[in-house]
Amino acid sequence: MQLLVVAALVFVINLLPAFGPPTWSVLVYARLRWHLEPVALVLVGAAAATVGRYLLASGARAVRGRFSARYRTNLANLADRFRGRSASLWSLAILFVVSPLPSAQLFVAAGLLELRLVVLGASFFVGRLVTYSLYVATAVAVDHQLGSLLTNVWGEPWWIALQLALVLAISLLPLLPWRAQRSEHH
C-alpha cells in the first residue's frame, strides 16, 4: 500500500511544470520512514516519474495550438533542427539521462517542439534508475549508520520547534532595521 502511495505522489509531482519537490527526496523519505524495499522503490519511482513527465510533455503539446502563429512557426523551425539530425535527438536524449537541469522544463520544451517523447521518456527512465538508485542506496547506508539517531531526533517536539523557530527567524530578517554599510575610501 505504501508503495502505491509513493507511486501516486511521484506521479503527481512529475505532472507539475515547476516548483515540485525533487522525486529523489520523496523516495529517500519513503525508504527511511517506511523501510520499503529499495529496488522496488527505485523502479516504482522511476516509472511513475517517467509517466508523469510524459503526460506533462503531452499536455504542453496539446496547448501548443493556442500560441500565436509566429510563436508556432518559431517552434516548428526549432523542432526541424532536431528532426533533421538524428544526432541532435540522441544528444537531447543523453541530456535527459544525465541532466542536472529540472526535468519539468525539458519535458515541456520537448512537448512544445513535438519531439519523440518515447525516446526522451526512455532516456529519462534510464537516467532516473541510476540517480534514484544512488540516492536510495545512500539513504540506506546513512540509515544503517545513523538511523536510530535520525529517527529519534526527527520526530521529537523540540526538533520540530527548532525548525519552526529557524524558519521564523529567517522570515523576520528582512524586517530588521538594517543599515547600509559604509564604504571606506582612501
Q: What is the pLDDT of residues 39-97, one digit of tens each?
A: 999 999 999 999 999 999 999 999 988 988 888 887 788 777 777 666 666 777 777 77
pTM: 0.73
Number of domains in the chain: 1
All three cell numbers of 161: 520547534
Parent domain of 105: 2-145
Task: With respect to residue 34, please indicate whether it lies within any of the assigned structural domains.
Answer: yes
Task: With respect to residue 181, please indicate whether it lies within any of the assigned structural domains.
Answer: no
Residue 111 to residues 12, 95, 105, 106, 139: CA-CA distances in angstroms?
18, 15, 10, 9, 33
> pLDDT by residue (tens digit) across 142-177?
777 665 555 555 556 766 676 667 666 665 655 656
Task: With respect to residue 163, please indicate whether it lies within any of the assigned structural domains.
Answer: no
Task: With respect to residue 135, please indicate whether it lies within any of the assigned structural domains.
Answer: yes
Task: With respect to residue 18, please indicate whether it lies within any of the assigned structural domains.
Answer: yes
Identity at 32, one-letter amino acid code:
L
Taking alpha carbons only, the member of 27, 155, 54, 66 closest to residue 110 is 54
